[in-house]
Amino acid sequence: MRKIVFLLCLLCSSVFADPTDLDTLFRGKEYKPVLNESLRTESKKNSEMVQSSSKLDKKSDGIYVLQFEAVADFDAAQRRKAQLSASTGYAIQVVFDTPFYKLRGGSFDSKAKAEDKARELSVYNVNALVIKIR
């Protein structure tokens, strides 16, 4: 009797449950993840920021960014990215530099401007380091 109930439960769960990504792989279908539209717009913003920062003035002494944190866990970095983006208004980039995921944002053409912004953010309890990338 228990075997019959177990088989009925197994049959019902397979009929009424939504298939998972693993189920589609076992059925021979190719897995195609759905990319969220907000991720596409975020990558466009980042590429525009890189293009605009590549055009340096004669007066600039390099390109500086603010590094907010370095986190070892990818999921924690993504959660913190959302928090920092909301609190600072910057498009935060997650850069993997072994063994940490570094959260960076902003683009400044002088170290003085970057340090001023870091001081301004420290008033709001957001700590940042000034990093020269070029």
The answer to whether residue 81 sits within a structural domain is yes
* 67-80 residue pLDDT tens: 999 999 999 999 99
Reading phi first (left if > 0) and then psi (alpha if -120 to 50, else beta), residue 89 is in left
The answer to whether residue 95 sits within a structural domain is yes
Which structural domain, as residue segments, surrounds residue 96? 61-132
The CATH code of the domain that includes 88 is 3.30.70.1070
What are the structure tokens assigned to 68, written together?
Answer: 């907010």
The answer to whether residue 30 sits within a structural domain is no
For the chain, the average pLDDT equals: 76
Contacts of 15 (CB under 8 A, 6+ apart): none
Length of the chain: 134
14 pLDDT tier (thresholds 50, 70, 90):
low
Phi/psi at 14 (5° precision): -75, -25
* 87-100 residue pLDDT tens: 888 889 999 988 99
Tell if the pTM clears 0.75, that is, is over it.
no
The answer to whether residue 41 sits within a structural domain is no
